Amino acid sequence: MDEILTSEADSVRAHCSLEPEVRWQEAMRRAIRDPGELCRKLDLPESLADGRSAQDFTVFVPLEFLARMRPGDPDDPLLRQVLSVEAENDTPDTYSLDPLAEQNASVLPGLLHKYHGRALLVTSGACAVHCRYCFRRHFPYQTVPKGLQAWQEALDHIAADPTISEVLLSGGDPLTLVDPLLQSLLGALDRIPHVRRLRIHTRLPIVIPQRVTEALRDMLAATRATSWVVVHCNHAAELDGPTLGALARLIDAGVPVLNQAVLLRGVNDSVAALEALSLRLVDHRIQPYYLHQLDRVQGAGHFEVDEATGLQLMAGLRQRVPGYAVPQYVREQPGERSKTPIEPRPMP
């Protein structure tokens, strides 16, 4: 597996010569938004891309992420996560626009409070990559408050409820906020005495690792509340040198980092792929947290791995890696008070 990763990285580095360091905002600005261009850059036929689904949910791929894909491979596990394809138009009708019924769980625009002790703030509608399987691909981000003024109602709600001891910043991706805005939001939450933990759910350090600047690291390390970072990475090839470096900067500063992944057909649906991901994470001090069953969102049907197969993969993984490298295999069920563990049915 390591051999594959090394040769993969080498071939790609040679293929797309990247400048050493572009500021993260510039990396966002120059990201690929045209599915045909994405194919061309990887020496693949443009016919692989589908225009209709790309209108429904646009393609957005930073060059830093592209650089980890294998040119000429239409089945590359990273490409599969981001390229709009024909199959998206064939998702069964049972797949919904809002599979988690989040519109009902919103206490306020942009604030979800479903689980005991934890409130989730949708801080930004923007992401640094568009993942085709995303359960929020149809989320009405236009209704998300923007700026501290707009968050005031959510902040008041959190301040008035002493049972909320943890606030999750999610999105979109909260790290798409510029530092001064993020700082004022973190500061406002940090001043609420019963908020003991801040949790940042982000894919940015994975796709554009230079987002983890010293300033960001210091900001997260300096909060009174304990800051946790949960990144989202589905395949070992996403964890290249710059990304592992970015995560090490956080961990070295005392910020714990967890990873969540989604079980995706053609991306990580083998014991070998899950094993490589888990080991690469724990080798670099990152704890695998969740492996999510795909949420049934319109456009993502071709990514589904059935739960029986998922359980077999988990059993295989458990035989190969240390216990602390095994993520919890869960699904999210609307109305439940926690994520639901997916476990083998007891023998009859």
Is residue 225 at the binding interface for ligand SF4, with CB under 6 A as the rule? no
Is residue 171 at the binding interface for ligand SF4, with CB under 6 A as the rule? yes
Shorter beta-carbon distance to ligand SF4: residue 242 or 299? 299
Length of the chain: 348
- E strand spans, the chain: 106-108, 111-115, 118-122, 166-170, 197-202, 226-232, 257-262, 287-292, 328-331, 340-341
173, 238, 240, 332: which one binds ligand SF4 (CB under 6 A): 173
Q: Which does 320 bind (CB under 5 to 8 A by kind): ligand SF4, ligand PLP, none?
A: none
The torsion angles phi and psi of 174, rounded to 5 degrees, stand at -60, -25
Distance CA 120, CA 140 (A): 16
Shorter beta-carbon distance to ligand PLP: residue 83 or 231? 231
- E strand spans, 278-334: 287-292, 328-331
Shorter beta-carbon distance to ligand SF4: residue 225 or 294? 294
Shorter beta-carbon distance to ligand PLP: residue 74 or 334? 334
Q: Which does 168 bind (CB under 5 to 8 A by kind): ligand SF4, ligand PLP, none?
A: ligand PLP
Q: Which does 134 bind (CB under 5 to 8 A by kind): ligand SF4, ligand PLP, none?
A: ligand SF4
Measured CA distances, 189 to 13, 16, 213 (Å) = 41, 41, 21
HSE value, Cβ hemisphere, 13 Å, CA-based, for 264: 23
Amino acid identity of residue 191, one-letter, is R
CA dihedral 74, 77, 81, 85 (to 10 degrees): 20
The torsion angles phi and psi of 202, rounded to 5 degrees, stand at -150, 150
Is residue 158 at the binding interface for ligand PLP, with CB under 6 A as the rule? no
Q: Which does 131 bind (CB under 5 to 8 A by kind): ligand PLP, ligand SF4, none?
A: ligand SF4
Site stretch for ligand PLP (CB under 6 A), options 53-61, 108-116, 133-141, 148-156: 108-116
Element (H, E) at 249: helix 241-252
Site for ligand PLP in 111-130 (CB under 6 A): 112, 114-115, 118, 120
Q: Which does 211 bind (CB under 5 to 8 A by kind): ligand SF4, ligand PLP, none?
A: none
44, 127, 177, 286: which one binds ligand SF4 (CB under 6 A): 127
Beta bridge partners of 119: 167
Query: Quick one: which of 273, 117, 336 has its CA closest to 291?
Result: 273
Shorter beta-carbon distance to ligand SF4: residue 128 or 220? 128
Site stretch for ligand SF4 (CB under 6 A), options 83-91, 112-120, 129-137, 308-316: 129-137
Interaction site with ligand PLP (CB under 6 A): 112, 114-115, 118, 120, 168, 338-339
Interaction site with ligand SF4 (CB under 6 A): 127, 129-131, 134, 136, 171-173, 203, 232
